[in-house]
Amino acid sequence: MIILGIETSCDETAASVVKDGRIIMSNIIASSAEIFEEYGGVVPEIASRKHVEYIMFVIDKAIKVARIKKKEIDAIGVTQGPGLVGALLIGITAAKALAAALDIPLIPVNHLKGHIAANYLTHKDLEPPFVCLLVSGGHTNILDIKGYDDIQNIGGTRDDAVGEAYDKVGRVMGLVYPGGPKIDKMALEGNPDAITFPRVKFKDNPYDFSFSGLKTAVINYIHSMEQKNEQYSKEDVAASFQKAVIDVLVEKVFETKSKKIVVAGGVAANRGLREALKMKAIKEKTQVFFPDIHLCTDNAAMIASAAYYINEEDFDINADPSLEI
């Protein structure tokens, strides 16, 4: 089965052709990320205009690179949410028009399920059940994946998502958006034990997260040092902050006692997190899976893969910016 995936939830305009939910035939991304560096984050109105500009280009190129004809597409999968409402509407409108013209099913896809499915593209034999650590700019969750479309959220952040905390700390440190990858790189040069930042635990749900206090502690430390005109190492701040984040993520996902852990989302590309999870997995004799680096960030291949495992089609779908898993 050949599925065309379309993704426009944030600042990437993407289209991809995937066969049988596992084989990437093409994966085209037009990113507007560089445009938002000067703004310190994504500007929804600009993102929407860029999606309008790029959407037909990426769809046409995805089909061309896959070396197929439009009539060979069996279905279209499109991101319904969560995301920016204006951005989502561009992808959904294009998907509806093309699905109607080709008289093929239109499958609404939860963006978060797409991130999980990125692992199916990397690990061809991976199948549920497993526990998933979903870490991104907007979400931090521990999910019990009982089946491809049978997912239970067993833990989540009560305030900031982990990627959001990275970006906010990066902004205070004077780093260009997005801050996450730059903090990960800086952490290599710093001492992770130089500064003790807080780790939050909850008695009522051991799988829940909170990064607001950690973020605030880092920002207060930086402001305090600057106000006292005292020298401090940005590398040590980056390393100590990252260690606090990783300690919490690793501890909580391994508390599930699952012997098969899958990591998904943009923060799954973080070098420090990957290394820590691999080391813990060896110690605990647990399997841990990551998507290929280029599939961690937003792309349409993951949407097409997720669509393959969803038994639902809906021509009347609307954008749902707050869609939950």
Q: What does the domain layout of the chain look like in residue ranges?
A: 2-116+297-308, 128-292
Query: Regarding the domain with residue range 2-116+297-308, which homologous superfamily does it belong to in the CATH classification?
Result: ATPase, nucleotide binding domain (3.30.420.40)
pLDDT for the residue 81 = 97
Q: Kindly tell me if the per-residue pLDDT of 314 is higher than 90.
A: no
Task: Give tens-digit pLDDT for 245-271.
Answer: 999 999 999 999 999 999 999 999 999
Q: Kindly tell me if the per-residue pLDDT of 145 is higher than 90.
A: yes
- The reported pTM is 0.95
Mean pLDDT of the 71-96 span? 98
Residue 27 structure tokens: 């994966």
Residue 238 structure tokens: 């980056």
Residue 261 to residue 258: CA distance in whole angstroms: 7
Q: Kindly tell me if the per-residue pLDDT of 311 is higher than 90.
A: no
**DSSP state at residue 209:** B
Q: Options 3.40.630.10, 3.30.920.30, 3.30.420.40, 3.20.20.70; which CATH number does 128-292 get?
A: 3.30.420.40
| Percent share of the chain, pLDDT over 90 | 92
Q: Parallel, antiparallel, or unpaired: how do β-strands 140-147 and 130-135 relate?
A: antiparallel
Task: Give tens-digit pLDDT for 285-308.
Answer: 999 999 999 999 999 999 999 999
Q: Which of 36, 46, 14 is nearest to 178 (CA)?
A: 36
Task: Tell me the H-state helices in the chain.
Answer: 44-66, 85-102, 111-122, 162-172, 179-187, 212-227, 234-254, 271-284, 301-308
Mean pLDDT of the 81-87 span? 97
Task: Give tens-digit pLDDT for 117-135.
Answer: 999 999 999 999 999 999 9
**Common-topology check for domains 2-116+297-308 and 128-292:** yes
Backbone angles phi, psi at 230, to 5 degrees: -100, 145
